[in-house]
Amino acid sequence: MTVVLLGLVSSLLYGVSDFFGAVGSRTRSATEVAFGALVISGATVLPAFAIVDSRWSWTAVGFGALAGAAAGIGVLLLYAALAVGPVGFVSPVVALMSAVLPALWAFSTGERTSPAAVAALAAIVVGGVLIGAEPDAGLRPRRRTVVLTLVTGVVYAAYFVFMDATPPDSGAVPMLSDSVAAVVAVGAVLLVTRRHGSPAGRPGRSDVALIAAAGLTQGVATVLLVTALHLPGLAVVSALSALYPVTTVGLAVAVLRERLRPRHAIGLAVAVAGVAGLALARG
């Protein structure tokens, strides 16, 4: 039950972070927004050392760094894909890939779960995809968007696998290693783009607020996610990640006044049923 709750809250917070990042990327470069959000996210995870016991090891640092590099590039690619849209294509495809690929990895390496839990996981993934579906038909993604989306899905899936490989007693160590590697990866891309592009103007107050909001929610989500991944159940946590479009779409409806379609309501009902079934199946 604990892993379900941690994974669920983490997923919903990642959806909030993605919304702020996507809106911020419409006025600033995706690289700049991703870098700022990752720096703030990294600072947010530092208090975790005072909360959880943490043991340093090369395994914790190494796999945490690999996860961080994947997260940094993944956030950068996701913001870039969301900026060119359509969001309703990008969001559900990334959610599906980041849920299914780690689950397949977990099952192939010996993780076992009950048939009821597998059915619940499938419902969660289907619900997440329906929730993230494009509300306005007729928007076809360009080839660049498709490539960015597919690569983002693979990179995000790799993050789950790498972070799951960190030792259960490593506590906040992989979170810190994750954050540092992500900042370095995106920072290097930012330096290259700044060197070969025109100088960017100073961000306004609204830009700073969006970047800060994206970073804070991402940092809290990371703490919860890593805590969940240190418990048994990679397939469960990765499937719950498919629910992040719930908050992304919800905020788009509430803030951007996008219309809510019947498929969103159906997706929400299916996803909620899946979460409830998963909680019951895992006790």
Residue spans per domain, the chain: 2-281
Alpha-carbon distance of 212 to 91, in angstroms, equals 21
Where b means 16+ CB within 10 Å and e means fewer, 21-45 reads: bbbbbeebbbbbbbbbbbbbbbebb
Q: Is the pLDDT of residue 138 over 50?
A: no
Local structure of residue 109 (DSSP, 8 states): T
Please state the rounded mean pLDDT for residues 127-134.
69
**What per-residue confidence (pLDDT) applies to 11?**
87
Average pLDDT value for the chain: 82
Q: Is the pLDDT of residue 162 over 90?
A: yes
Q: Any idea which residue has 């809106």 for tokens?
A: 23
* CA–CA–CA angle 11, 250, 263 (5° rounding): 100
85 vs 188 pLDDT, higher one: 188
14 vs 241 pLDDT, higher one: 14
Say which residues have a Cβ less than 8 Å from residue 5's Cβ, sequence separation at least 6.
none
Q: Is the pLDDT of residue 24 over 50?
A: yes
Dihedral, CA atoms, 253, 255, 256, 261, nearest 10 degrees? 0
**What per-residue confidence (pLDDT) applies to 54?**
87
**Nearest alpha carbon to residue 263 among 131, 100, 84:** 131
Number of helices (H), then strands (E), belonging to the chain: the values are: 12, 0
Q: Which helix (H) or strand (E) holds 93?
A: helix 87-108
Q: Count CA atoms closer than 13 A to 54's CA, side-chain side.
A: 23
Q: Is the pLDDT of residue 64 over 80?
A: yes
- pTM (2 d.p.): 0.80
Please state the rounded mean pLDDT for residues 86-100.
77
Q: Any idea which residue has 């959880």 for tokens?
A: 52
Q: Kindly indicate the confidence band of residue 66, based on its pLDDT and cuts at 50, 70 and 90.
A: very high
Q: Which helix (H) or strand (E) holds 239?
A: helix 234-240
